[in-house]
Amino acid sequence: MVYHEIAVEPTAVEDLKDLGLVERMFGFEHGRLVAFLPAKPKDSGCWISVLYGHMKTMLPPEKHKDLELRVLRLLDRAGYRSRNSSKIAEGQSWCDLALQEQSASPFAAILCAGKSGNSAMLPFQGLHDPDDTFPVFLREPVHFADSMKDPETFLNALKPLIVSAKRLDFIDPYFDPTHPEEANRRRWQMTIRNLADFLRSSNRLTADLHFHTQLDEAQEPETFVRNIANEISGRFPPTTTLKVTAWSQKPRGIRFHARYLITDKAGVALEYGTDMGSNRRTDITLLPRALAEIRRKEFDPNTPSTFNVEATIQVSGTR
C-alpha cells in the first residue's frame, strides 16, 4: 500500500504537542493521510472545523490565527477527501461514524480519543510512543512501496495523490503513444486510455495534466509534440488541460532517465515508469516535498532546467 488513509478523531488532538505530532507524521510525502471525516457540514461539523474549534478553547485569542493557518496547512498537506458525503447523524458519535465508514470502505487505522475497547480502534495518544499493537506504518517511516502495473491496481494505488492534486506532471523519457513500433505505441495508448477512464470515474474532469518525454530525434520537435497531443486529446473531456513537452540532454549533461509522477501535493519516483501492462511491478519511492519541487522545476520550460526543452504544446481534451 502506497498511502494509508487513517481516521483521526479530531477531539483526540488535545494540545499543540499533539498537533505537532500530526504535522510531522501525516502528509502525502509520509504515506499517511488524515481522512476528512466527517466531510460536512463544512461550516461547523466537518473534521477541520471540529479540530479548530476544539483546539481554540485551549489557546488564548492571540494564538487563534496561527492555529487556523496551521490547521489549514495540515488539511492541504495531509487531508484526504475520500468520503465527501460523510456526516454525523443526530445522536451519533465520531467513533460510530468511523466504524460505519470502516464497514463500507476500510481505513488503514482508526485513532480515537482514549481507549475504546474496540479492537478496530487505537488510542491516538499511543502515537507518541507506539508499541507493537500499532501497525508498522504507524511505528516506522514510510518511504517505499510497490505496485503491480496492471490498470486494475496501479492507478488505484496512487489514487489519493492523483485525485487530491490540481496539477499532475508525468515524467517519463519513453512516453510516446505515437511510437512507430506497435508494441510501444499500444502500451502508452493503454496508459492514456486507463488514466482518462480513471479520472472520469473519480469525477476529476478539470485535471491539469503535463506529460514530459524525451525528443525522438528522428522527428521535428514541434511535429513530435503535436502528434502526441493530438493522440491523447481525444481521450479527455474539454475541461482537461493537456501539455506535452519534449526534452533533450544538454551537452555532457545529465541523462533524462528517471521517471516520476509529481503533483502540487507531493511526488513519487517510479522505478519502471507509468506505462501499464500485465504481470509487471514497479517500485515506488515517496519524495520529500522539497525534493519533489526540485524535480518539478527541472521539467519547467519557463525556468532554467537540467535539460534542454525542444518543444512544448498545450491543448484541451476533445472528447
pLDDT band, residue 280 (cuts 50/70/90): confident
**Together in a domain, 75 and 158:** no
Average pLDDT over residues 8-26: 95
Residue 7 has pLDDT above 70, yes or no: yes
The range of the structural domain enclosing residue 199 comes to 144-316
Last residue in a domain, options 139, 155, 172 = 139
**Together in a domain, 170 and 97:** no
Q: Which has more confidence, 241 or 206?
A: 241
pLDDT band, residue 116 (cuts 50/70/90): low
**Together in a domain, 129 and 198:** no
**Together in a domain, 211 and 247:** yes
Q: What CATH number does residue 296 fall under?
A: 3.30.870
**Together in a domain, 84 and 105:** yes
**Together in a domain, 241 and 151:** yes
Average pLDDT over residues 143-160: 92
pLDDT band, residue 96 (cuts 50/70/90): very high
**Together in a domain, 214 and 298:** yes
**Together in a domain, 131 and 268:** no
Which are the contacts of 249, defined by CB distance < 8 A and separation ≥ 6? Answer: 255, 256, 307, 308
Query: What's the domain count of the chain?
Result: 2
Average pLDDT over residues 227-256: 95
Taking only the tens place, the pLDDT of each residue in 216-236 is 999 999 999 999 999 999 999
Residue 43 has pLDDT above 80, yes or no: no
Last residue in a domain, options 139, 163, 187 = 139
pTM value is 0.92
Last residue in a domain, options 118, 139, 160 = 139
